[in-house]
């Protein structure tokens, strides 16, 4: 097993990520935000909740690209990368789901009703359905992966499932909100694009750096896990 790609050892992008996240936490919690009815100060959650989704999408996309590269080259490094980028994508997805569901419980639903009671109503929202489906699909990916003992077969089959799932899943998730009713902003189309209309320019100054910062953090976690795994494999081989 050859060494991991060089960019994983570089520190400039990790430092950038830390700086951007420090900025996100200070400017995000202290900076000016529009006072919208219902949302009020909770709108600051945008810097955390929405960024989780962006991060998840980006990490899953990296994962599927690595899966395609694995099938092209049959190089195990791409398989390892595909697995761990998907894993961190799922972590972001879970955090995004949690931050979104709690946020919705206080803004869409009656804040006086407990979160557990309003959850069944909130979870019916198309965006949350889409999120839950994608998490389930990637959990299935992990189950499939771990169920195959042979290393090469595992890599090949999970890469195929990864590509199949990604290509079926994401168009379907974009279609769902058009078919079902939703309270979520960005109703007509990509949930990301409403950022242009719905939030003030002050917020955008924090939001875009936050997306980059969180994504870099995700990449960092993934690369650490990839490096750990390749060390483990090296020890097994020697």
List contacts with other proteins (CB under 8 A): 71, 129-130, 133, 136-137, 139-140, 143-144, 147-148, 153, 156-157, 159-161, 163-165, 167-169, 171-173, 175-176, 179-180
Q: How far is the CB of 221 from other proteins (least distance, A)?
A: 24
Question: Which CB sits closer to other proteins, 4 or 123?
Answer: 123
* Nearest distance in Å: CB 110, other proteins: 25
CB of 102 to other proteins, least distance (A): 23
> How far is Cα 17 from Cα 23, in angstroms, rounded to an integer?
10
CB of 83 to other proteins, least distance (A): 15
Q: State the number of CA atoms in the 13 A half-sphere of 136 facing the CB.
A: 7
CA distances from 238 to 78, 111, 228 (A): 21, 58, 16
If the CB atoms of residues 9 and 139 are measured against other proteins, the closer one turns out to be 139
93 contacts 192 by C-beta, under 8 angstroms = no
Question: Cβ distance 144 to 161 under 8 Å?
Answer: yes
* 219: helix, strand or coil: helix
Of 113 and 175, which CB lies nearer to other proteins in the complex structure?
175
């Amino acid at each position: 097993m050859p060494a991991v790609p060089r960019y994983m050892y570089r520190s400039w992008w990790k430092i950038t990520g830390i700086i951007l996240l420090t900025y996100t936490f200070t400017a995000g919690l202290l900076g000016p935000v529009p006072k919208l009815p219902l949302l009020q100060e909770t709108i600051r959650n945008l810097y955390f909740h929405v960024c989780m989704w962006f991060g998840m999408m980006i990490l899953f996309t990296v994962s599927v690209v690595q899966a395609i590269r694995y099938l092209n080259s049959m190089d195990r490094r791409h398989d390892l990368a595909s697995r761990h980028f998907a894993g961190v994508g799922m972590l972001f997805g879970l955090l995004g789901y949690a931050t979104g569901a709690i946020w919705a419980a206080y803004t869409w639903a009656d804040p006086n009703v407990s979160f557990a009671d309003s959850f069944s109503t909130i979870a019916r929202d198309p965006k949350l359905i889409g999120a839950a489906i994608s998490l389930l699909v990637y959990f299935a990916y992990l189950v499939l992966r771990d169920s195959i003992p042979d290393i090469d077969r595992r890599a090949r089959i999970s890469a195929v499932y990864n590509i199949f799932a990604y290509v079926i899943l994401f168009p379907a998730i974009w279609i769902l909100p058009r078919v079902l009713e939703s309270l979520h902003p960005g109703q007509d189309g990509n949930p990301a694009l409403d950022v242009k209309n719905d939030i003030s320019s002050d917020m955008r100054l924090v939001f875009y750096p936050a997306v980059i910062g969180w994504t870099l953090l995700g990449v960092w976690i993934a690369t650490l896990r990839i490096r750990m795994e390749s060390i483990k494999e090296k020890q097994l081989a020697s």
